[in-house]
Structure 1
């Protein structure tokens, strides 16, 4: 019994040490702010750029995780693994969806990858907010933050974002 108590105490000390090490090492790394260059993305088809604030990035991540990640976790598309949210797939869509303005347009009224027909009845969007309640309260500012978050992921996580089953 004494040996068991000693073992339990040793395990508790080990867990305390492990958690303390995580808090000292990992948490500061997780809270590192993205620099201005990383937060700068293409705004529109003219090539004009915009720099997101750290708050817009955080907000975009939160909104993406709440409204989009169920089907697009890690930038994949669960319903069509051939088309993800990585910059290459977005740029090859018709029309291209590789700018903030074009992604906002898509989130308002989504079309098929080839741009031939509306998919608002199938894909969550502002246009179909009555079918997809999570889209009801998203403002243009919210959509801007989500689009910005999606577009900066190729800088933050270039190998993982859109990597599909390899990573997620």
Structure 2
């Protein structure tokens, strides 16, 4: 008869073996073409580093995903974070620099009114403390992550109620 302790030790050993010797199967690295996103309104591009992608994901999940899980907008499901919605905003938010500007000072979809008291931003960090310590580099990584997702998650990103 095998003791419970032996089964526990065996299962921990197997788990550790998998985590040390098979991590590459689970951590697929995105190639440069996939990590290339639009930088500014002139359509210049930039290649995100793997570290920027990881950082952007972590920061997005910590600061934005409560309302934008999967690229949707819980407060307005008609406007998500997919490229089409971002490009139709005024000004267009389909590039890193404009998304960073938006995260600093958010405006309504038509660009006419400030919504800093409603949407987390650097401008309203006293209301939304998660935004308080975000640097420009952090915002750049978050914006890059948002723009990368339509390529990685495809139709699920911004798919709204169908997926999330």
Answer whether TM exceeds 0.5 for this pair.
yes
> Structure 2: how far apart are the matches of 1:67 and 1:28?
28
Q: Which residue of 2 aligns with 1:164?
A: 160
SS of residue matched to 1:41: strand
Q: Which residue of 2 aligns with 1:48?
A: 44
> Structure 2: how far apart are the matches of 1:37 and 1:137?
31
- TM-score, normalised to structure 2, is 0.87
Measure how far apart 1:43 and its partner are.
0.2
Q: Which residue of 2 aligns with 1:30?
A: 26
Q: 1:165 to 1:51 in 2, by over 3 A?
A: same
Consecutive unaligned residues of structure 2, counting only runs of 5 or more, are none
1:125 aligns with 2:121: yes
| 1:1-168 pair list within 5 angstroms | 28-168=24-164
Measure how far apart 1:74 and its partner are.
0.3
Superposed CA RMSD in Å reads 2.2
> Structure 2: how far apart are the matches of 1:27 and 1:75?
27
Larger radius of gyration: 1
Query: Which consecutive aligned stretches of 4+ in structure 1 deviate over 4 angstroms post-superposition?
Result: none
SS of residue matched to 2:37: strand
Equivalenced residues, count: 156
